[in-house]
Structure 1
Amino acid sequence: MGRLTGGDPSLLRRINSAVVLHALRAADRATLTEIARVTGLSRPTVEGVVEDLAAAGLVVEAAPEENTARRQGRPARRFRFRAEAGHLLGLEIGTRRVTALLSDLDGRVLGAQDRDVPETAPADERLERLRTAIAELLRRAGVPRSSLRAVGVGTPGIVEADGTVRLSTALPGWTGLRLGARLRRSFKCPVLVENDANVAAVAEHWKGAATGCDDVVFVLAGLSPGAGSLIGGRLHRGFGGAAGEIGALHLLGRGETPETLLSTTGRPLHPLDEQAVTEVFALAREGDPRALAAVDRFVQRLVQDVAALVLALDPELVVIGGLAAGLDGVLEPLRRELARCCLRPPQVALSSLGEAVVATGALRLALDHVEQQLFAVDGTVTARRRAR
């Protein structure tokens, strides 16, 4: 990065600080001379910036390596980014479970905690189970709540920018819930709330099957499927946050509703009864003919829903997660249908993150927020951010 001259000195300091901090974070450890070479800043400037970052607790001098310490002469001082200077939480609020993941500022997961929740639990009970899981996780990890820099949350439903759930049919008492405001009472750091399929797409792009792909559709295949999309590596939420709600396609008058697709009795499944859906899948694997027919209906509808999304977005990759991720043979019908109706069929893969996908994406949401604080100046992220 070339040197900047003139302008606001305080802005220059912020830019230099962000550039140096990024260089240190990208390296395991580095000398002042190495940092100067990478950033293009003068060595005295780098030295001053490192001193300021050390005073802020973000940088520390690294202990010399054992083989280096044995050499004659004083080794060059090396510094490292203090990933332990703060912590992040990634939370999933699901129909039957709440999950909390804890990480350092590099996104390394330090612990996880789950709590089962009845599907019919009201909002207050569900949030209390989540608070209990968080408290236990922090206690076990020995991390004080004051160390948290950001909290990401993934939840079913259409979520507004302030964390209010505008619509959710999956959780009782969730529609209209000011979820972000409720959770912020428990933390002194930013809390970011997003739709579960959206954060799942982010997770797969970060650590899962979509690593290296910037145009991705993630399908969270449940009783009422949803999808999250990345376009050019950026999450696409739509104008009102409702992009990817493919579970509503049955409202176009295509016959069976989602509740009847997986029924083996002729009676609709309860919209919240995912346990019954799991049992249908298990019966199908055992060869039960009615369950096999129900699963076939489910797969065919899923194929149609995904095909509609692919035709609109033309992604490089479609990742299937959720209930369908455990179904043998879901990929081939999907590939055949996409090959039949799409000009350029995408690759198709199952989620590689399994049940952790939503909480992992929520953690990435929190990490993105912290990186904006550390590496952005006046809303512009500094150059040469490490690809994650």
Structure 2
Amino acid sequence: MRGRVAISGSQSSLREANRALIVDTIKRYGGLTQVELVAATGLSPATISTIVKELLGGGIVDTQNTTRSGRRAQMVTLARRVGLVAGVQFGHRHLKVALGDFGRTIVAEQQMPLPVDHRSDTGLDRAALLVVELLESVGAPIEELLTIGLAVPAPVDVSTGEISVHGIMRGWDGQQLGQVMSERLARPVVVDNDANVAALAEHELGAARGFQDVVYVRASYSTGAGIILNGHLHRGFAGTAGEIGHVQVDPSGSICRCGNRGCLDTVVSSTALLDLLRGSHGDLTLRDLVAKGIAGDLGCRRVLADAGDRIGSVVAMLAGTLNPQLVVVGGELAGAGELVVGPLRQAVLRHIAPNTVAPLQVVAGELGEEAEVTGALLLALRSTEVATHYETISTTPEGSDGTAAAEDLSLTRRTEGDLT
């Protein structure tokens, strides 16, 4: 909660500052009642009531009836006319796009398969087309789209939008992805790593909500981690923090895409895991592996458990260094539940010093395969400045250090959320 804000200056500048404070607070939480706005801003009930009426009349906010603690109240949210944001997630084999508004609602979503090792120009072209199709499906012009968040399965230098380790995404190196995508749609674009945005989503909406220090492990076609320290996303210099898929686990192992030998990704990537089963099970997909393991296939269960154990041994090194409160496991492999999360938890706890004061928790994520695209939407929301007058709305991209002017926002399909 914020304390009372003391603002000097003329009456008009005071009113404008209070308007901005109220709009920013609604933006942060997605929607609040007037009582909650009083608590969150420190402004008086009379000031809140007056300014909310002004914003409602100006089309900046909407109100709807809700119930709080058994009492009827009016939820105040930013109006749909304020605009929409888009989240774009590139996977190794698929593309997912979603539209979201400032009322914590995903209004449209679509995905499509992509060929392995698709090039950046092909992928960005298809993403731009999907964004336009989704806008048309909800009857929104391109001008209503304020910002696009773009998530890719590689470390990203957010100051340039470039992939910072060459070879991980073939055909994407050397491209300023945000700029290239922005040229296609004429809208601002912010870019980040998929594990980072998934960590942001789980921290805001999922299993890590309320925790300050969190490691999110994305166990999928490759393995990466997103790190939340003191409530903020930690990317490291040029975006390579959390690249646990490129920690060496076998000095004599295979050559990794990054150019090094025996990285974690060479033993727990989808290719490596499925190769183990090809002789006994034929050609499987990662989804097949997870589904068969859940159904009781002993070979698939062994592969999943071993993968969890290997990933956990590397996560333990990260946890021993950062001392997080919580490790959240997501990605396609986490869909196998305790078949993967259990061995991963055991390996982490086996390899770190036991903390008897605050034992480390290792849990499955709550957002599943929606974590990345939801995080991309949150990234876009964080990077969008909402003015207190509709006609002056503008957007501001993240700074060179990757931080955003606005605080973390919530985004969910629920119509109500708790103020935390």
Smaller-chain TM-score bracket: 0.7 to 0.9
- Secondary structure at the aligned position of 1:330 is classed as helix
* C-alpha separation in 1, matches of 2:146 and 2:106: 15
* C-alpha separation in 1, matches of 2:64 and 2:225: 47
* C-alpha separation in 2, matches of 1:182 and 1:355: 26
Give the 3 Å change call, closer, same or farther, for CA 319–266 of structure 1 in structure 2.
closer
Residue 325 (1) aligns with residue 343 (2): no
Q: In the alignment, is the contact (CA less than 8 A) between 2:98 and 2:108 conserved in 1?
A: yes
Q: In the alignment, is the contact (CA less than 8 A) between 1:316 and 1:347 conserved in 2?
A: yes
Match of 1:309 among 313, 318, 332: 318
- Secondary structure at the aligned position of 2:237 is classed as coil
> TM-score, structure 2 length as denominator?
0.73
Amino acid at match of 1:143: A
Q: CA deviation at 1:105?
A: 1.1
Q: CA deviation at 1:135?
A: 1.7
* C-alpha separation in 2, matches of 1:37 and 1:341: 42
Match of 2:133 among 118, 129, 136: 136
Instruction: Give the match for residue 79 of structure 2.
Output: 83
Deviations 1:361-382 (A, max 9, x none): 01111122236867xxxx9769
Instruction: Give the match for residue 174 of structure 1.
Output: 172
* C-alpha separation in 2, matches of 1:323 and 1:43: 50
Give the 3 Å change call, closer, same or farther, for CA 222–185 of structure 1 in structure 2.
same
Higher mean displacement: 120-129 or 103-112: 120-129
Deviations 1:57-85 (A, max 9, x none): 3136x5999xxxxxxxxxxxx89444312
* C-alpha separation in 2, matches of 1:9 and 1:136: 46
- Secondary structure at the aligned position of 1:229 is classed as strand
Number of aligned positions between the proteins: 364
* C-alpha separation in 2, matches of 1:136 and 1:241: 31
Instruction: Give the match for residue 207 of structure 2.
Output: 209
Residue 111 (1) aligns with residue 108 (2): yes
Instruction: Give the match for residue 366 of structure 1.
Output: 380
- Secondary structure at the aligned position of 2:116 is classed as coil
Q: In the alignment, is the contact (CA less than 8 A) between 1:197 and 1:228 conserved in 2?
A: yes
* C-alpha separation in 1, matches of 2:215 and 2:136: 37
* C-alpha separation in 1, matches of 2:322 and 2:110: 36
Give the 3 Å change call, closer, same or farther, for CA 44–298 of structure 1 in structure 2.
closer
Q: In the alignment, is the contact (CA less than 8 A) between 2:88 and 2:148 conserved in 1?
A: yes
* C-alpha separation in 1, matches of 2:48 and 2:342: 58
State the identity as a percent: 31
Give the 3 Å change call, closer, same or farther, for CA 168–299 of structure 1 in structure 2.
farther
Instruction: Give the match for residue 197 of structure 2.
Output: 199
Q: CA deviation at 1:7?
A: 4.3
* C-alpha separation in 2, matches of 1:64 and 1:354: 31
Amino acid at match of 2:380: A
* C-alpha separation in 2, matches of 1:337 and 1:83: 48
Residue 120 (1) aligns with residue 130 (2): no
Higher mean displacement: 247-256 or 350-359: 247-256
> RMSD in angstroms over aligned alpha carbons?
4.0
- Secondary structure at the aligned position of 1:167 is classed as coil
Deviations 1:241-272 (A, max 9, x none): 1000001112772746333553565799xxxx
Q: CA deviation at 1:318?
A: 0.9
Instruction: Give the match for residue 73 of structure 1.
Output: none
Mark the runs of 5 or more structure 1 residues left unpaired by the alignment.
66-77, 269-273
* C-alpha separation in 1, matches of 2:266 and 2:340: 19
Higher mean displacement: 329-338 or 316-325: 329-338
Give the 3 Å change call, closer, same or farther, for CA 235–5 of structure 1 in structure 2.
closer
Higher mean displacement: 197-206 or 181-190: 181-190
Match of 2:154 among 152, 157, 167: 157
Amino acid at match of 1:321: G
> TM-score, structure 1 length as denominator?
0.79
Q: In the alignment, is the contact (CA less than 8 A) between 2:178 and 2:191 conserved in 1?
A: yes
Q: CA deviation at 1:322?
A: 1.4
Residue 15 (1) aligns with residue 22 (2): no
Give the 3 Å change call, closer, same or farther, for CA 114–19 of structure 1 in structure 2.
same
Amino acid at match of 1:190: P
Give the 3 Å change call, closer, same or farther, for CA 20–290 of structure 1 in structure 2.
closer
Higher mean displacement: 132-141 or 163-172: 163-172
* C-alpha separation in 2, matches of 1:55 and 1:202: 34
* C-alpha separation in 2, matches of 1:49 and 1:293: 58
* C-alpha separation in 1, matches of 2:247 and 2:123: 29
* C-alpha separation in 2, matches of 1:41 and 1:265: 64
